[in-house]
């Protein structure tokens, strides 16, 4: 199973190594277009600084997934798309060590797969017209998945569900076709060739497993449009950290860090884990485990903050799986927030708001899946945050962020 967040990050880090500038938290809101309908620039809203900025460009690749039609709309172009909701149920540990597939009540294939330190049960597939930002798994989706897997794994309901995860597939808009028959292939829509803005290219469809191929195809097309006929070679290049294997047994002895922690670190960083280990020579105290579920040591959090451009705890979750294990951040959030605040020099109120944001984001996936032992776990989490951390009583002097004004 791929770690989708890590794959995305490694591609960004690799691009940066080759001269790209990575701008997170920048939302495309408009395009600069000349009187020949040619794209000349992109206008974006910087959610961190609150400033509206722009860059000059002749070609734009719209890879906004289930928001791609909205980006096209801001260029006054149409992009028909078929949005398809999918949900996963996540268990607290590896309840299987092999993949299990089974046909669901409607004849669709569903699966149960070990993923990192957890297990994923998925997935549903439903046409949706809702806002992808607010979608959560429904009770029906959870029951559909459990009931189907129960036919081959009767004890599945005894396992602890820690949360659900919901996403939206940006499918090619095939009409009068049942969802399961819609292609999972991809298209690159050249708006200029279809009476729209010249220089705007939009992705429809595709899969995570084909994303590198998709990126190559569009890079070659951009090259052609810019008059640079050099074929993309990324399929021949390993992503950062994947150049070689790592002997974690030797490293465990050399740095006196547990094999388990190093095994997980290797999965995330490969050869690049040496940067984390070198930091522990300077600061042996940063060998402390911060997230015990994963596990993640303090030095890795510091390297992630310094090199992988996180702004928030939620970003750290996506970078290194902080808070994604069985305790869902009950024990690591405060500690990680303090490290983030120190590294980014954040004021105290931002520190508290970040913790609240992190909990709110986790809660979106936890709320509807709570049952059995997970109820007790949530009681514990609430006790930690409200009684020990006093988070519900904290007097947070919170200034609205620019994009929240008027909400
Ligand atoms: C439940 C589920 C299960 C799946 N399982 C698999 C699988 O097993 N194997 C597989 O290969 N694929 C799988 N997929 C498909 C795969 O995950 C999707 O195809 C993929 O996530 C879509 O990638 P994307 O980059 O197009 O869109 P996204 O990953 O959604 O990324 C779009 C990005 O655009 C950004 N964005 C949106 N609007 C703007 C804007 N105005 N300005 C700037 N940025 C913007 C968003 O913030 C987001 O980061 C699954 C999908 C789902 C939903």
Do 357 and 253 share a structural domain? yes
- Phi first, then psi: what are they for 324, rounded to 5°? -100, 0
Q: What is the reported pLDDT for 400?
A: 63
Ranges assigned E (strand) in 92-160: 100-103, 109-115, 118-122, 126-127
The CATH number that applies at residue 21 is 3.50.50.60
Residue 83 phi/psi, 5-degree rounding, is -85, 135
Atom of ligand 1 minimally distant from the CA of 88: 1
Given this model, what pLDDT does residue 369 score?
A: 87
Nearest-CA residue for ligand 1 atom 41 is 28
User: Is residue 371 domain-shared with residue 273, that is, in the same domain?
Assistant: yes
Instruction: Choose one of 7, 67, 182 to mutate for the ligand 1 pocket test, by most ligand atoms within 8 angstroms of C-beta.
Output: 67
The residue nearest atom 34 of ligand 1, judged by CA position, is: 64
Q: For 350-366, what is each residue's pLDDT tens digit?
A: 888 899 899 989 999 99
User: Whose C-alpha lies nearest to ligand 1, atom 37?
Assistant: 64
Q: Is 173 part of a structural domain of the chain? A: no
Pair (67, 207) in one structural domain: yes
Instruction: Examine the domain organization and report whether 276 and 339 are in the same domain.
Output: yes
What pLDDT sits at residue 398?
Answer: 63
Q: Is residue 165 part of a domain?
A: no
Whether residues 71 and 99 fall in one domain? no
Kindly report which listed range (84-88, 268-272, 327-331, 393-397) carries the lowest average pLDDT score.
393-397
* Residue of 46, 64, 74, 87 to mutate, ligand 1, most atoms within 8 A of C-beta: 64
Run of H or E including 273: helix 273-282
Pair 310, 349 in one domain: yes
Picking from 200, 206, 137, 202, the residue whose alpha carbon sits closest to that of residue 170 is 206
Q: Is residue 256 one of the residues assigned to a domain?
A: yes
The rounded percent of the chain whose pLDDT value lies above 70 is 97
Task: Place 406 in a pLDDT band, splitting at 50, 70 and 90.
Answer: low
At 58, list the tokens: 């002749």
The pLDDT score that the predictor gives to residue 405 is 60
> Mean pLDDT over all residues of the chain?
93
pLDDT of residue 30: 97
Parent domain of 194: 4-81+182-236
Going by alpha carbons, the residue nearest to atom 35 of ligand 1 is 64
For residue 14, being part of any structural domain is answered with yes
Please tell me the distance between residue 309's alpha carbon and the centre of ligand 1 in angstroms. 20
Cβ contact 156:92 at 8 Å: no
pLDDT tens per residue across span 118-172: 999 999 999 999 999 989 999 999 999 999 999 999 999 999 999 999 999 999 9
291: region left, alpha or beta (phi > 0 left; psi from -120 to 50 alpha): beta
Q: How far is CA 146 from CA 123, 139, 153, 162, in A?
A: 11, 11, 9, 14
Strand partners, 31: 42
Ligand 1 atom 22: residue of nearest CA: 65
Within this chain, do residues 258 and 380 fall inside the same structural domain, yes or no? Answer: yes
Where do the DSSP E strands lie in 13-148? 26-33, 39-46, 52-56, 60-62, 82-91, 100-103, 109-115, 118-122, 126-127
Rounded Cα distance, 294 and 67, in Å: 31
**309 or 349, higher pLDDT:** 309
| 49 and 77 both lie in a single domain | yes
174 in a structural domain:
no
Residue 387 has pLDDT above 90, yes or no: no
ipTM: 0.98
pLDDT for residue 371 = 87
Query: How long a stretch of residues is the chain?
Result: 407
Q: How far is the CA of 168 from the centre of ligand 1 (A)?
A: 7
Residue 298 CB neighbour total at 10 angstroms: 21
pLDDT, tens digit (0-9, with 9 covering 90-100), for 195-251: 999 999 999 999 999 999 999 999 999 999 999 988 888 999 999 999 999 999 999
59 Cα: distance to centroid of ligand 1 (angstroms): 21
Give residue 182 CA to ligand 1 midpoint distance, Å. Answer: 17
Domain count, the chain: 3
Between 64-73, 290-299, 340-349, the lowest mean confidence (pLDDT) is in 340-349
Looking at the structure, tell me whether residues 265 and 197 fall in a common domain: no
Residue 288 to residues 96, 175, 284, 321, Cα–Cα distance (Å) = 30, 55, 8, 17
Residue of the CA atom closest to atom 46 of ligand 1: 64
* Distance between Cα 5 and ligand 1 center (Å): 11
CATH of the domain at 97: 3.30.9.10
The residue whose CA has the least distance to atom 23 of ligand 1 is 65
pLDDT of residue 391: 81
173 burial (CB, 10 Å; 0-12 / 13-18 / 19+) is middle
One domain, residues 60 and 103: no
Which pLDDT belongs to residue 396? 66
- If asked whether residues 37 and 62 sit together in one domain, one would say yes
Going by alpha carbons, the residue nearest to atom 25 of ligand 1 is 65
What are the tokens at 252?
Answer: 């465990």
Average pLDDT over residues 314-326: 95
What confidence tens digit (pLDDT) does each residue in 9-45 have? 999 999 999 999 999 999 999 999 999 999 999 999 9
Q: Do 298 and 189 share a structural domain? A: no
For residue 118, what are its two tokens? 């957890």
- Mean pLDDT for 272-299 is 96
Tokens of 264: 């997980």
pLDDT digits (tens, 9 = 90+) for 291-314: 999 999 999 999 999 999 999 999
CA of 152 to the centre of ligand 1 (A): 31
Pocket of ligand 1 (CB under 6 A): 27-28, 63-67, 71, 86, 88, 122-123, 167-170, 203, 206-209
Contact by Cβ (8 Å): 302, 339: yes
**Distance from the CA of 66 to the center of ligand 1, in angstroms?**
7
Q: What are phi and psi of 66, to 5 degrees?
A: -70, 0
In a domain, 243, yes or no: no
* 348 falls within a domain: yes
- Is residue 338 situated within a structural domain? yes
């Amino acid at each position: 199973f791929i770690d989708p967040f890590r794959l995305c990050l490694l591609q960004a880090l690799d691009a940066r190594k080759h001269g790209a500038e990575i701008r997170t938290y920048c939302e495309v809101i408009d395009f600069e277009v000349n009187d020949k309908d040619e794209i000349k620039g992109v206008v974006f809203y910087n959610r961190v600084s609150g400033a509206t900025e722009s860059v000059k460009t002749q070609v734009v690749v719209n890879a906004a997934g289930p928001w791609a039609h909205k980006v096209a709309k801001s260029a006054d172009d149409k992009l028909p798309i078929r949005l398809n909701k999918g949900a996963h149920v996540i268990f607290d540990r590896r309840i299987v060590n092999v993949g299990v597939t089974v046909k669901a009540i409607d004849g669709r294939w569903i699966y149960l797969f070990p993923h990192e330190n957890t297990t994923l049960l998925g997935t549903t597939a439903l046409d949706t017209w809702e806002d992808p930002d607010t979608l959560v798994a429904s009770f029906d989706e959870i029951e559909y998945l459990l009931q189907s897997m129960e036919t081959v794994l009767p004890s599945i309901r005894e396992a602890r569900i820690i949360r659900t995860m919901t996403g939206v597939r940006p499918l090619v808009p095939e009409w009068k076709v049942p969802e399961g028959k819609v292609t999972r292939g991809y298209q690159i829509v050249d708006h200029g060739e279809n009476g729209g803005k010249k220089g705007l290219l939009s992705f429809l469809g595709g899969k995570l497993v084909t994303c590198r191929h998709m990126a190559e195809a569009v890079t070659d097309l951009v090259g052609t449009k810019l008059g640079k006929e050099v074929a993309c070679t990324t399929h021949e290049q390993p992503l950062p950290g994947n150049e070689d294997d790592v002997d974690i047994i030797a490293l465990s002895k050399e740095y006196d860090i547990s094999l388990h922690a190093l095994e997980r670190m290797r999965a995330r960083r490969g050869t690049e884990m040496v940067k984390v280990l070198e930091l522990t020579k300077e600061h042996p105290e940063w060998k402390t485990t911060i997230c015990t579920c994963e596990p993640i040591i303090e030095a890795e959090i510091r390297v992630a903050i310094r090199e992988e451009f996180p702004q928030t705890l939620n970003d750290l979750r996506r970078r290194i799986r902080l808070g994604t294990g069985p305790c869902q951040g009950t024990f690591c959030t405060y500690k990680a927030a303090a490290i983030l605040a120190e590294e980014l020099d954040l004021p105290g109120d931002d520190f508290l708001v970040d913790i609240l944001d992190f909990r709110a984001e986790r809660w979106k996936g936890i709320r509807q899946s709570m049952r059995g032992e997970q109820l007790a776990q949530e009681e514990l989490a609430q006790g930690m945050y409200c009684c020990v951390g006093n988070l519900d009583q904290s007097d947070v002097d919170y200034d609205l962020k620019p994009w929240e004004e008027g909400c």
